[in-house]
């Protein structure tokens, strides 16, 4: 890769990841929200590879970033911000955030690397590894995140929260397994991406958190960094943190990608000689669409169960439901994508599906047959429009569904009474951080779309 191309790749990826991470924290959050920055990072890196891997890499990044979403970090941030409370412990807070950031981006980097190194893996090995992921997640949590009995004041020895359940142990064990998996196959490219994600995921959260502190607390001279904008409520320190964290994570993964690019060329040459080790079972290929549709139905069912229980005031074990739902939107689709199938379904459908799912089940909480049919119609129409045509999903299609539905979701939410929290629309548009954050999203989205056309000419 030429130096000029590498510079553009790194800057473009960092910018897109910054947008993706900021939007993630606005509309969806959690594992599903993390799909957005993961998809954009994978898309750009795959496109710069020059081997037509953009959509596949986007799908791998989309699902690879979801695993870190299990790492609760709100109370970890509290250790840094709560200066006048008993739980104030900035050292613990910064260490916890750096550790969680390192796991988050390195796991995503691992799956991005494998999506480019398919010449060294057989699809059956991919299947075996992916099927073990839910087991590794549970075992890792049992080893590192137990005991967890808040009612008895019993928490793990290594614990970066105050009362919340932590699940980073599953990602730690999975990351170790991914490193071993890559070493056994001589996949040095994946190891480089893991190192890049680990390093800059940690550094990124340290820098981002320092920026957050600088934005919400007075400087030594007693003044605030953003002055009047902060006092008017137009500056969102949390959003500033997210923008910076995303930029650093995207920078680290793209830097590692460019440094290890020579391995991509080697693996591509090997694939051209020996052939990629993709799925060659026609019977299984016929069943993949059915399995993916079943996964989507399963996700809707889990959300519906949670909604009904909440509506009736019944307790629901969210921990159990989460572990049932997660493999449906990351492990099973990942298994097929890395084995050479389903990337079109995963990208355009999932990015829109999580927005619709969020608005129906969480934001508006208006779940009925009509809302489900409308949501299903939007998702199916999106898939048919982008993936139903000749040639399948184009990279620009992924860019469009990574921007327009998310911006639309924010507009729909803020126009609603729930989104305004009882405030007049005029006040929300002029006296809250929405007045600065949303225009930033619009500008960043426009620049991403324009840059994609400018750089790649499509």
Domain ranges within the chain, ordered by starting residue: 3-456
* C-alpha distances in Å from residue 103, one per residue of 11, 69, 93, 120, 123: 23, 10, 16, 24, 25
Backbone φ/ψ region at 278: left (φ over 0), alpha (ψ -120 to 50), beta: beta
CB of 72 closer than 8 Å to CB of 412: no
CB of 207 closer than 8 Å to CB of 248: yes
CB of 380 closer than 8 Å to CB of 337: no
CB of 389 closer than 8 Å to CB of 378: no
Distance (Å, whole) CA 307 – CA 46: 38
Distance (Å, whole) CA 74 – CA 27: 16
Can you spell out the DSSP letters for 213-276? HHHHS--TTS--TTHHHHHTT---HHHHHHHHHHHHHHHHHHHHHHHTHHHHHHHHHHHHHH--
Can you spell out the DSSP letters for 100-151? HHHHHHHHHHHHHHHHH-GGG--HHHHHHHHHHHHHHHHHHHHHHS---BGG
In this predicted structure, the answer to whether residue 390 has a pLDDT above a threshold of 60 is no
Place of tokens 């680290």: 252
In this predicted structure, the answer to whether residue 69 has a pLDDT above a threshold of 60 is yes
For the chain, percent of residues with pLDDT exceeding 70: 99
Q: What is the pLDDT of residues 157-211, one digit of tens each?
A: 999 999 999 999 999 999 999 999 999 999 999 999 999 999 999 999 999 999 9
Q: What is the pLDDT of residue 225?
A: 82
What length does the chain have?
458
């Amino acid at each position: 890769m030429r130096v000029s191309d590498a510079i553009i790749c790194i800057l473009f990826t960092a910018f897109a990841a910054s947008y993706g991470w900021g939007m993630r924290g606005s509309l969806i959050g959690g594992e599903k929200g993390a799909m957005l920055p993961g998809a954009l990072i994978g898309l750009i890196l795959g496109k710069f590879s020059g081997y037509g891997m953009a959509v596949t890499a986007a799908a791998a990044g989309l699902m690879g970033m979801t695993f870190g979403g299990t790492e609760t970090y709100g109370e970890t941030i509290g250790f840094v911000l709560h200066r006048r409370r008993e739980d104030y412990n900035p050292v613990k807070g910064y260490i916890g955030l750096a550790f969680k950031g390192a796991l988050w981006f390195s796991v995503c980097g691992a799956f991005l690397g494998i999506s480019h190194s398919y010449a060294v893996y057989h699809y059956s090995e991919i299947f075996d590894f992916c099927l073990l992921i839910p087991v590794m997640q549970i075992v890792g949590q049992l080893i590192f995140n137990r005991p967890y009995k808040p009612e008895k004041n019993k928490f793990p020895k290594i614990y970066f929260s105050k009362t919340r359940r932590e699940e980073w142990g599953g990602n730690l064990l999975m990351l170790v397994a991914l490193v071993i998996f890559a070493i056994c196959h001589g996949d040095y490219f994946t190891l480089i991406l893991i190192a890049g994600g680990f390093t800059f995921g940690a550094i990124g959260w340290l820098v981002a958190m320092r920026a957050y502190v600088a934005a919400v607390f007075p400087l030594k001279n007693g003044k605030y960094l953003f002055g009047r904008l902060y006092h008017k409520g137009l500056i969102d320190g949390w959003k500033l943190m997210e923008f910076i964290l995303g930029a650093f994570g995207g920078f680290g993964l793209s830097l590692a990608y460019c440094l290890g690019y020579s391995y991509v060329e080697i693996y591509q040459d090997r694939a051209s000689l020996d052939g990629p080790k993709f799925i060659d079972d026609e019977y299984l290929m016929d069943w993949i669409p059915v399995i993916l549709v079943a996964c989507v139905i399963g996700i809707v069912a889990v959300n519906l169960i949670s909604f009904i229980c909440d509506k009736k005031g019944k307790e629901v074990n969210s921990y159990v439901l989460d572990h049932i739902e997660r493999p449906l939107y990351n492990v099973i689709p990942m298994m097929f994508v890395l084995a050479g199938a389903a990337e079109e379904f995963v990208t355009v459908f999932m990015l829109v599906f999580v927005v619709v799912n969020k608005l129906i089940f969480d934001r508006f909480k208006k779940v009925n047959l009509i809302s489900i049919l409308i949501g299903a119609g939007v998702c199916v129409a999106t898939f048919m429009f982008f993936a139903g045509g000749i040639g399948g999903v184009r990279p620009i299609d992924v860019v469009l569904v990574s921007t327009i539905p998310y911006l639309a979701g924010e507009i729909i939410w803020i126009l609603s009474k729930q989104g305004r929290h009882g405030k007049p629309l005029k006040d929300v548009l002029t006296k809250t951080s929405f007045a600065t954050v949303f225009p930033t999203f619009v500008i960043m989205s426009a620049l991403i779309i324009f840059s994609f056309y400018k750089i790649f000419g499509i």
